[in-house]
Amino acid sequence: MQGIRRIFATAIVTLSLAACGGSSGGSTTPPPPPPPPPPTVTMDEAFQFLNQATFGATQTEVQHVVDIGIEAWIDEQMQMPVSRQLPHLQSLPRPQNLAELQVDRVDIWFRNAINQPDQLRQRVAFALSEITVVSQLGALVDAPYSLGSYYDVLAENAFGNYRQLVQRVTLHPAMGVYLSMLGNEKPNPALNIRPDENYARELMQLFSIGLVELNVDGSEVLDGQNQPIPTYNQAIIEGFAHVYTGWNYAGAPSFQQARRNDANQTIPMQLYPAFHDDGAKMLLNGVTLPAGQNGNQDLAAALDNVFNHANVGPFIAIRLIQRLVTSNPSPGYIQRIGAVFDNNGSGVRGDLGAVVKAILMDDEARPDLPMEIDGKIKEPLLRLTQLWRAYNASSESGKYPLVASYFILGQGPLQAVHVFNFFSPFFAPAGEIRNSSFVAPELEIATEYQNTFVTNYFFLTCFGLNSANENLEADDVFIDISEEMAIAGDTNALIDMVVSKLLAGTVSDVLRVEMVGMIDRIDVADVANRTAEAIYFVVSSPEFAYQR
């Protein structure tokens, strides 16, 4: 009791002193001020941000960003559960020809991209799939489980550590098949066997450090003759190729008996020690792995060696900025993001969540004043997903069976024609862009042939695959144009509504005048075609194809 009384007495004295301003002329320390409110986000800024961070801005999500702010939205997204593909594929009846499940793999990709809430994770996973490329087009055509599992790895690690991502990519059977690390054997001169160099080369060139040494701002390091300095040579390629020996499908009695089945195509490859080369191996930066190490030790040391190369920060910064924000980031933008890769503020290297957040919150992502290097061309697939999300695209069956999207759009989920992605990050079309030393990667697939297919598919969607069509089949993906049809008799109101959904309400005078002229040629009572014309005019325009 005495102890309790002393506590209450002390509290009373303290409160009395506070009430009268303290003792002996002193004063209490004022409480810290509340944190400042988040910066105000305009509707236009939210729309622009969401086209960088999702598969297409929607009016509902725009309002959510305006309400809570960009940083809070990013933090919220990073806590969302992962929307996966493999569980869906495994829940379906297994066809005798597994290639038939590729339709379902593409379907679940679109379901996640269009409807699932973890938009930022899915968007970053798509960006990573264009850097660490595997593809259905080739040896993996009959391995849909493996491809679905691989994409899940990218989604699961989108905000994780790059070092862990590289290890999971390296040991995934989809990558093992695609770049021929799976089944790679140690040298055997008697049988004319030498380690395959494919994965060794591409991990360095395309996934991590590139061909030449880079400064922190992404510019090339030059030697005394003003020439770029290569990051590796043939001896280093061979060293890594020898590291990646002895791995095959898991669970087999022996290396030679390892064969793909439904289960082992989705789990990490297994080391078969007798087929791993345990000799010394030359790696990057003058490092040599000692002889006598086992395959797991060699792999860990080799991936650490790549991960800690100075190029990785600026290399990954450039690739992710290009996929999310702008094709031509400034040296300062690259340097800032590369620095976050090197140290997330807590001494951690390779924190992809911190990198993604820094990319999207950088001043250069949405500059106050327009710059010549702003933005990028939207990939055809992202133009389609933005249209579908803006107009609540769905089908009676609930499916999005666009398995031939690579044929229609020039790209599709895990459907690149080669390991260099759908387009090169260095592509610059002849003319003004190349002459200005800029790049426009997405324009590499913007051929006359491909643009015709893309435009025709948008035409089909706007005029035929919409909610006004009463003859749709169960799997037809259609857009909901009922809101627009309700006001379609008023040309300007119709244009305002379409432009608000697809262009954040901003449209050039030239495009608006052309839209008015075309819509007014259609009978005022034909609300379906007036609506279709308005939407088609926007989605086939350069203004929609450009991501600010």
Q: Quote the CA–CA distance of 74 and 357 in Å, as a whole number.
A: 7
Query: Helices in 325-447 by DSSP H: which ranges?
Result: 331-342, 352-361, 380-390, 405-409, 432-435
Question: Could you report the per-residue pLDDT of 363-378, keeping only the tens digit for each?
Answer: 999 998 877 788 999 9
**What is the distance between the alpha carbons of residues 488 and 532, in angstroms, rounded to a whole number?**
10
On whether the CB atoms of residues 173 and 265 are closer than 8 A, the answer is: yes
The Cα-based distances of 484 to 137, 153, 384, 496 in angstroms read 39, 40, 19, 10
How many CA atoms lie within 13 Å of 8's alpha carbon, on the beta-carbon side?
5
Written as one letter, the residue type at 73 is: W
What are the C-alpha distances in Å from 404 to residues 256, 407, 455? 36, 5, 16
Buried b (16+ CB within 10 A) or exposed e, 429-462: eeeebeeeeebbbbbbbbeeebeeebeebbeebb
CA distance 170 to 173: 8
Across the chain, what does the average pLDDT equal? 93
- pLDDT band at residue 38 using 50, 70 and 90 as cut-offs: low
431 sits in the region (left: phi over 0; alpha: psi -120 to 50; else beta) called left
Q: Where are the domains of the chain?
A: 41-69, 162-310, 312-361, 378-415+447-547
Token output for 328: 């031509």
| Structure confidence at residue 36 as a pLDDT band (50, 70, 90) | low
User: Residue 404 has what pLDDT?
Assistant: 78
Say how far apart CA 107 and CA 399 lie, in whole Å: 6
pLDDT band at 4 (very low <50, low <70, confident <90, very high): very low
Q: Distance between CA atoms of 53 and 72, rounded to whole angstroms?
A: 13
Task: Supply the pTM of this predicted model.
Answer: 0.92
pLDDT, position 405: 84
Q: Which residues sit opposite 376 in a β-bridge? A: 547
More confident residue, 308 or 11: 308
